[in-house]
Amino acid sequence: MKDVKYDPDDLIAALATPWAESALAVIRTSGPECINAVADIFSANNKLKKAEGNTIVYGHIVSDNEKLDEVMAAVYRAPKSYTGQDSVELFVHGSLPGMKKILELLYRSGFREASPGEFTFRAFLNQKMDLTRAEAVQEIISAKSRQAQSLALNRLSGSIENSINSIKSDMTDLLASVEIQLDYPEDEVEMPDVTASETKPIEEKMNRLLSTYQAGKIYQEGVRVVLAGKTNAGKSSLFNLFLKEDRSIVSDIHGTTRDYLESWISIGGIPVRLFDTAGLREAEHPIEVEGIRRSNEIIDGAHVILYLADAQEGITADLKAFMEQYREDRRCVYIWNKIDKSIVSAPDEFIPLSALTGEGFSILEETIRDIVFRDQYVPHNEPVLDSMRQKKLLEAARDSIDKYNQALKDGMPMDMAAVDLTDALNSLGEITGEVTSAEVLERMFSNFCVGK
């Protein structure tokens, strides 16, 4: 796996923290002889060179006798480091010009800028982690809710790797049985069963893991929820209640919200992109007309539509028209807002709510969760598949087993049918990265952030 972009023998360096002013920043370096190379630009030169692994050395980064920054250098020695190579992490001050100076100095001193995901790539090459764990690293970083983060953390601890290995081990046993069938005459040994009854439990394990994918995707990518309804129904009030801050302008003037607002929130662990939109009505002002056009666009693309009705107004013609138009649409949740002020009780399909007092809010949250996970298997305490790559390979493995069973049914010779089993095993090997092509690896890691 040697190619220019990801040559593991190069000395690499990158900023691992955001390119922004902050109290501290971390510059990460890795590569053979990395510790000596950093020592060349370090005041406590000898101390750093002799430092044991997992220790920290205090000093200055120096260039031509000029001190660039006062830093702490964390020293890791191979193989006990993230990448499995010698590595130094510099804790520097988070000043933009300061960070820039140090990075430029590193790039003049034998280091090159790390490509995206290159540190994790090296960790994979040095067998510090398999591919499912490497992918989990990026999934943790991009997690948008606490739930998504802890599911990804489970994957980093090997939950998917272990599941796949357990399936692989079943497959290997099966292949061994097939070998016995092929190698020994029937009368010499007892023939193990290699038919569908043996592949069934394996397929069940695969299906179980596959069924978690949709939920994993929801937790990782989130869903779009839109607040819709007539002007003055209380959409912006509810938006602010979800955000727990006074973000959207609320007023009793109809048509207050002209352009839509959006924000990430979390509802029961689901990352939700919540939209507040311009109230729907017959508008004349061209800006309001454009706002309403945008509202409709967002409604079209939403996973869940929260339609607010003003309880004080009751069932209006607009509400009836909307409900008629969206009759078959299972994304809609109807909300009977302002119950604190109205004595008219909510009609059947409505959730009674007061965006002002918060009454009914937790029921609304539960309803949204139910809609998002409707028709879906919700996993509890088990590995959750999140990567499209892993899902496709697992499906390919399952298809190969199907083909194997079909081949046996069709009376094909065992040695030919067994090829499908080998294919299945190879697909599983690709998931963990034992048999993954350089091109696939490069594509995968190039989606990572630099410094990771």
Contact positions vs Mg ion (CB under 5 A): 235-236, 256-257
User: Is 243 a residue that touches ligand GTP (CB under 6 A)?
Assistant: no
User: Could you give the string, one character per residue 262-301, with x where binding to ligand GTP holds by CB under 6 A and - elsewhere?
Assistant: -----------------x----------------------
Tell the smallest beta-carbon distance from residue 259 to ligand GTP (Å).
10
Burial grade of 169 (CB within 10 A; 0-12, 13-18, 19 or more): exposed
User: Is 356 a residue that touches ligand GTP (CB under 6 A)?
Assistant: yes
DSSP-based three-state secondary structure for 28: strand
Could you say which of 251, 362, 376, 437 contacts ligand GTP (CB under 6 A)? 251
User: Is 451 a residue that touches ligand GTP (CB under 6 A)?
Assistant: no
Tell the smallest beta-carbon distance from residue 3 to ligand GTP (Å).
55
Could you say which of 256, 263, 367, 426 contacts ligand GTP (CB under 6 A)? 256
158 DSSP assignment: T
User: Is 234 a residue that touches ligand GTP (CB under 6 A)?
Assistant: yes
Q: Which two tokens stand for residue 355?
A: 């965006």
Tell the smallest beta-carbon distance from residue 242 to ligand GTP (Å).
12
Cβ pair 304, 331 in contact under 8 A = yes
Instruction: Kindly tell me which of 120 and 236 has the beta carbon lying closer to Mg ion.
Output: 236
User: Could you give the string, one character per residue 314-343, with x where binding to ligand GTP holds by CB under 6 A and - elsewhere?
Assistant: -----------------------xx-xx--
User: Is 443 a residue that touches ligand GTP (CB under 6 A)?
Assistant: no
Instruction: Give residue for tokens 């272990």.
Output: 162
Closest listed residue to residue 146, CA positions, set 253, 254, 270, 46 = 270
Which of ligand GTP, Mg ion, none interacts with 234 (beta carbon under 5 to 8 A by kind)? ligand GTP
DSSP-based three-state secondary structure for 211: helix
> Which residue lies nearest ligand GTP, judged by its C-beta?
279
Binding segment toward ligand GTP, per CB under 6 A, in 13-21, 177-185, 255-263, 390-398: 255-263
Closest listed residue to residue 107, CA positions, set 177, 183, 12 = 12
Tell the smallest beta-carbon distance from residue 270 to ligand GTP (Å).
23
Would you call the peptide bond into 192 cis, given omega within 30 degrees of 0 as the criterion? no
Which of Mg ion, ligand GTP, none interacts with 108 (beta carbon under 5 to 8 A by kind)? none
DSSP-based three-state secondary structure for 309: strand
Which of Mg ion, ligand GTP, none interacts with 233 (beta carbon under 5 to 8 A by kind)? ligand GTP
Closest listed residue to residue 336, CA positions, set 326, 316, 412 = 316
Cβ pair 140, 156 in contact under 8 A = yes
Instruction: Kindly tell me which of 15 and 339 has the beta carbon lying closer to ligand GTP.
Output: 339
Tell the smallest beta-carbon distance from residue 250 to ligand GTP (Å).
4
Could you say which of 61, 223, 228, 233 contacts ligand GTP (CB under 6 A)? 233
- Which residues face 305 on adjacent strands? 226, 332
Q: What are phi and psi of 271, to 5 degrees?
A: -70, 125
Distant-in-sequence, close-in-space partners of 129: CB < 8 Å, separation ≥ 6: 120, 123, 137, 156
Tell the smallest beta-carbon distance from residue 246 to Mg ion (Å).
13
23 DSSP assignment: E
Tell the smallest beta-carbon distance from residue 258 to ligand GTP (Å).
8
Which of Mg ion, ligand GTP, none interacts with 22 (beta carbon under 5 to 8 A by kind)? none
Could you say which of 39, 57, 250, 393 contacts ligand GTP (CB under 6 A)? 250
Could you say which of 257, 390, 405, 436 contacts ligand GTP (CB under 6 A)? 257
Instruction: Give residue for tokens 């299906």.
Output: 207
Closest listed residue to residue 436, CA positions, set 405, 402, 390, 403 = 390
Separation CA 306–CA 369 (nearest Å): 13
Burial grade of 108 (CB within 10 A; 0-12, 13-18, 19 or more): exposed
Q: Which two tokens stand for residue 383?
A: 């590995």
Tell the smallest beta-carbon distance from residue 78 to ligand GTP (Å).
59
Closest listed residue to residue 35, CA positions, set 102, 111, 112, 99 = 111
Tell the smallest beta-carbon distance from residue 332 to Mg ion (Å).
19
User: Is 232 a residue that touches ligand GTP (CB under 6 A)?
Assistant: yes
The residues that touch ligand GTP, with contacts defined as CB under 6 A, are: 231-237, 250-252, 254-257, 279, 337-338, 340-341, 354-356
